[in-house]
A and B are shown apart, each in its own frame.
Chain A
Amino acid sequence: MEKNYLNSVVWLVLATVLVLLGLFWLPDIDVGEWTMRKVDLLADLRNDSVAMTLNQQQSDTIDEATRKRISAMQGIPVLEGSRLTHDAHGNTITLEDSIINAMMQLGPHSDSITPIVDMSGDEHGGMDAFYRALAHCKSRQVRIAVLGDSFIEGDILTSMLRELLQQRFGGGGCGFMPMATIASQVQLTVKHTFGGWIQHRAVDRNNYSSDYNNITGNYFNATTGAWVSLKTTSNHYQHTASCTKSSLYYLGGGSGVPATVTAYVNDERYKQFTLASTAPVGRVDVTGNINQVKWVVDNPASTIFLGTSMDCGHGVTVDNLAMRSSRGNHLATISPEMLAGLDKARHYDLIIIMYGLNIATDGRNNFNSYCKNTETAIALIKQQMPTTSIVLASCSDRAERNASGGFKTKKIVKELIQAQKRVAINSRIAFWNLYDAMGGEGSIVEMVNNHEASRDYTHLSVKGGDRIGRLLYKAIMLGYDNHN
């Protein structure tokens, strides 16, 4: 009879398990930018409390002045030299969480809505300016800019936010659009077509001059005959479809022959404009009952173009300023003149900063440079746009496959959110916990199952964007109603 190798099976299987268990002690291996992931067969049995990890990192902390101010104001017990404290139930939590919790108790209340937490104290940059503007939206335009990455690209999330705000406060139009976008085909709110532009994006650093760096993260050179057209569509969002004003934005300051552009409204020639180059940011407008607007560059000269818009003279406008793979780094290096110029040409009452997916990447040990950049950017905006409210939105939930094949929220996402809370606290602006609003731990997995997110367990579908847009709207309304 043939030899039986059943015992070998046992030894081989056990040896494999032992080898894999042993690999846990392998030191971290880095090859260039790539870091080897830890082999951890027992990952499912590991309790990964973010608070514990954060306490081991000594580098980034809340600055001492803020700490004292908040500690005195809220009576939060701060353990000396530690980043941790306790909540009412005696659980260990981070200082950031305890501050946000305390602020939330002071602010607007609701069990089902994740509120916007205003940490400005009496300073500007908090939500006050925005809520006051909103109260006067019958007579003036109230503008919101949402700055973000691929998470909101294609007007995901912002389209529903805009529609709901316009339902309640009036107004119309899709807001600002860059001359050209990668995601034009997924725009549900407006039909955006274009041609003849040379695009420069802040994420392609070699191809992007800091002289023209602006809040949109894009600028364009035009070829003769370059054109852009926006056409309303009422299939999904009815209010957005009405528009009475369109503008074209460009950068001034150049010398020589000024550029000329011709505007066409509803397929009829409207007027030719000569683009004056006096202000840092220039703008020309067309008005009327606009279904379609088309801008054609007759003579580009050396003018730098930014984009066009569809607005109403009153009510709320929401601009989606999304840029794939962005971390929002470009915001920190915009020149003060450019920011002030933008504020003049297209004033924002509220700026929502919503980055995170490209920051919470594997192998990152700390968020020091992210925090520094964002704090610089916020300080700049506060300085040059003194009547603008600022909300820092947290990173969204994002999952990765774990060793047992299921999907689980990435730990680094939770760590980033702690850092983002710290930025909001230090910068004294408002904070919205997008991650909590989505449903916290594992919510993206749930959303994928409900067809609300894509199977990369990162990006939203239109349906999911609508849901989160509604949640953001509710958060804003909770604060607004409370403010009145």
Chain B
Amino acid sequence: MENIWHNILNYLNIQFGSLDWTLLLKQLAYDDKSPLIFSSGAFMCMFAIFIVIYTLLKNKSLPRTLFVLAFSYYFYYKSSGFYFFLIAIVTCSDYLIAQAIARTTPRLGRKSLVALSLFIDLGLLGYFKYTNFFGQLWSEINGMPWHDIDIFLPVGISFFTFQSLSYTIDVYRRKIQPVDSLLDYAFYVSFFPQLVAGPIVRASDFLPQIHKPLLVTRTMLGHGFWFIITGLFKKAVISDYISVNFVERVFENPTQFTGIENLLGAYGYGMQIYCDFSGYSDMAIGLALLMGFHFNINFNNPYKATSITEFWRRWHISLSTWLRDYLYISLGGNRKGRLRQYFNLFVTMLLGGLWHGASLNFILWGGGHGIALVVHKMWMSITRGRSFVESKPWRLVMALLTFHLVILLWLVFRNADLTWTGLFLQGDCGNTGVMLSQIFTNFHLELLPSIIAAYWQVLALIALGYILHMIPSQWCKSTFVKLPAFLYVIILAFLIVIIIQVKTSDIQPFIYFQF
């Protein structure tokens, strides 16, 4: 038997050149430098094996659930090592708490139970993500020295804690019944497509799907491949290429670039973050569809928005609706007067900013969006019923204005070099300030032709990204679904070949100043 195995390996070895099978074990183990991401070859191979077993188990509900659960935990182990126990903690505690809430009738009892769930989930989130941040903040306020504690940030902790909270809060609000089976709940919290980077799937949307017969319709098949292909294109072609070859360089060293390059870098970053984030969400949605699960759409052409309010209905929808339902409404929403509503809106966005990461730039970004939303609410109450706000030219102007406001706030979001004392005592706006000053005082429009000549691939991709963003995708999607299925394979393989070609490029020439 061993001999046969050896021969097979030997044959493969000859066929595939210098394969070193001992490296396989290394590949399968946790490596903090190479997490398993959807756009990787390793994930592709693993998913192929996964889907074969998944399909073999299609009529065996329990083994299938166990199998997916095990795979999901392994997937998480590949990203964060043994920290998968955190998912288990969140799962078990919220499962038990939700059951207890359903059995409790006194208001106070229910309240304290949901508070316990909040305490556990937000406590974990707070400890792993915000300890050093608040430590530093405290030391800046009272001058006591703070030494950062070396805390590992488990991947996706913001996503799965929020996801699990949606469940306990909904049970508390009597919107859904608690699940009977711990296994089902564990399956929901750890489901690998959305585990590490969203979308934040609601328990009320997902749990009912677990026990439906496993069905992938022809439309689901088409849509699944469509989302995977467009997601891959956005993430691995547009976002990765423009970031490494242009955007990151400008943001690392804005003074080395002219104002016009800084502006193009800012537009590029707007496209990069959209493609990166929505591309990953798309792939998650696509993978789930191929496994017979529906997720809600997470991004809906956000840069088409004609107001900041609309932007947030189109950007990271699963987060903005989560914040609306569980934070904004809990704060009182719009039920306690207009001033209180503005305050609630602002606080929600501020905390939403903090959710993205534990640093000042994210808070400022959230706060900036909060102020913009409040201003827009005021503006709406002034212009209500006026006809000009519906006119085409006006909407175009507002779309451009909204877009540039969003881009401006992305600069704040991306440049993490701000400090509290620097900003508030010395007025040092960090790289954001440098970039704006380059844009407004050192523009050099005359260099545009040579910039285009040197960076045409990057700029063409950024432009393509925005064009694809603007045209209606519904038609493309429905046409794609009608294609014969073997074409999906060819398109996907072709795309992967392209990704491999663009994965890095040679050093792009910098733009020369002309003297």
| A37 CA / B503 CA spacing, docked (Å) | 10
Which stretch (A179-187, A331-339, A419-427, A431-439) binds chain B? Answer: A179-187
* Residue B240 interfacial (CB < 8 Å): yes
* Residue B47 interfacial (CB < 8 Å): yes
Residue total for B at the interface (Cβ-Cβ under 8 A): 66
The answer to whether residues A403 and B40 also contact, given A12-B489, A20-B496, A185-B255 and a CB cut-off of 8 A, is yes
Where chain B touches its partner, the secondary structure class is helix
A455 closest partner in B (C-beta): B248
* Residue B473 interfacial (CB < 8 Å): no
| A53 CA / B489 CA spacing, docked (Å) | 34
| A10 CA / B52 CA spacing, docked (Å) | 6
Which stretch (B13-21, B296-304, B355-363, B381-389) binds chain A? Answer: B13-21
Q: Which residues of A contact B218 (CB under 8 A)?
A: 2-3, 5
The answer to whether residues A198 and B20 also contact, given A10-B55, A400-B504 and a CB cut-off of 8 A, is no
| A461 CA / B19 CA spacing, docked (Å) | 36
Q: Which residues of A contact B24 (CB under 8 A)?
A: 45
* Residue B425 interfacial (CB < 8 Å): no
Q: Which residues of A contact B485 (CB under 8 A)?
A: 8, 12
| A14 CA / B51 CA spacing, docked (Å) | 9
Indicate which residue in B17, B52, B55, B248 contacts A456 across the interface (CB closer than 8 Å).
B248
B3-52 contacts to A, CB under 8 A, are 16-21, 23-24, 27, 33-34, 37, 39-45, 47-48, 51-52
Q: Which residues of A contact B224 (CB under 8 A)?
A: 9
Does the CB pair B244–A9 fall under 8 Å? Answer: no
* Residue B493 interfacial (CB < 8 Å): yes
Query: In this complex, which of B19, B39, B253 has the most chain A Cβ atoms within 10 angstroms of its Cβ?
Result: B253
* Residue B342 interfacial (CB < 8 Å): no
The answer to whether residues A45 and B20 also contact, given A454-B249, A454-B253 and a CB cut-off of 8 A, is yes
* Residue A257 interfacial (CB < 8 Å): no
Which stretch (A132-140, A209-217, A263-271, A355-363) binds chain B? Answer: A355-363
* Residue B488 interfacial (CB < 8 Å): yes
Does the CB pair A47–B20 fall under 8 Å? Answer: yes
* Residue A106 interfacial (CB < 8 Å): no
Q: Which residues of A contact B506 (CB under 8 A)?
A: 361-362
* Residue B497 interfacial (CB < 8 Å): yes
Does the CB pair A454–B248 fall under 8 Å? Answer: yes
Indicate which residue in A15, A23, A52, A400 contacts B18 across the interface (CB closer than 8 Å).
A52
Does the CB pair A405–B245 fall under 8 Å? Answer: no
Does the CB pair A20–B493 fall under 8 Å? Answer: yes
* Residue A58 interfacial (CB < 8 Å): no
* Residue B486 interfacial (CB < 8 Å): yes
B462-515 contacts to A, CB under 8 A, are 485-486, 488-490, 492-493, 496-497, 500-501, 503-504, 506-507, 509-510, 512-513, 515
Q: Which residues of B contact A450 (CB under 8 A)?
A: none
Does the CB pair B214–A6 fall under 8 Å? Answer: yes
Does the CB pair A39–B497 fall under 8 Å? Answer: yes
* Residue A7 interfacial (CB < 8 Å): yes
Residue total for A at the interface (Cβ-Cβ under 8 A): 67
Please encode chain A, from 84 to 115, with 1 for each CB lying within 8 Å of some chain B CB and 0 for all others.
00000000000000000000000000000000
Q: Which residues of B contact A199 (CB under 8 A)?
A: 515
Q: Which residues of A contact B490 (CB under 8 A)?
A: 19
* Residue B97 interfacial (CB < 8 Å): no
| A361 CA / B504 CA spacing, docked (Å) | 11
* Residue A236 interfacial (CB < 8 Å): no
Q: Which residues of B contact A24 (CB under 8 A)?
A: 16
| A47 CA / B16 CA spacing, docked (Å) | 11
Q: Which residues of A contact B503 (CB under 8 A)?
A: 37, 400-403
* Residue B225 interfacial (CB < 8 Å): yes
Q: Which residues of A contact B244 (CB under 8 A)?
A: 401, 455-457
B510 closest partner in A (C-beta): A324
B242-256 contacts to A, CB under 8 A, are 243-245, 248-249, 252-253, 255-256
* Residue B58 interfacial (CB < 8 Å): yes
A179 closest partner in B (C-beta): B515
| A6 CA / B506 CA spacing, docked (Å) | 42
The answer to whether residues A456 and B245 also contact, given A6-B58, A404-B34, A406-B33 and a CB cut-off of 8 A, is yes
Q: Kindly provide the distance from the CB of A327 to the nearest chain B CB, expressed in whole angstroms.
A: 12
The answer to whether residues A41 and B44 also contact, given A361-B506, A400-B503 and a CB cut-off of 8 A, is yes
| A197 CA / B504 CA spacing, docked (Å) | 36
The answer to whether residues A7 and B18 also contact, given A20-B496, A324-B510 and a CB cut-off of 8 A, is no
Does the CB pair A45–B51 fall under 8 Å? Answer: no
Does the CB pair A12–B510 fall under 8 Å? Answer: no
22 A-B pairs with C-beta separation under 8 A = A2-B215, A8-B485, A9-B221, A12-B225, A12-B489, A23-B493, A37-B503, A44-B42, A45-B23, A46-B23, A47-B23, A52-B18, A150-B510, A182-B510, A182-B512, A185-B255, A400-B503, A400-B504, A401-B503, A404-B41, A406-B33, A406-B34
The 7 A-B pairs of least Cβ separation, nearest first, read A406-B34, A47-B20, A455-B248, A403-B41, A400-B504, A404-B40, A405-B40
Which B residues contact A (CB, under 8 angstroms)? 16-21, 23-24, 27, 33-34, 37, 39-45, 47-48, 51-52, 55, 58, 214-218, 220-221, 224-225, 240, 243-245, 248-249, 252-253, 255-256, 290, 292, 485-486, 488-490, 492-493, 496-497, 500-501, 503-504, 506-507, 509-510, 512-513, 515
Which A residues contact B (CB, under 8 angstroms)? 1-10, 12-17, 19-20, 23-24, 36-39, 41-49, 52, 150, 154, 180, 182-183, 185-186, 194-199, 324-325, 357-358, 361-362, 400-406, 445, 454-458, 461
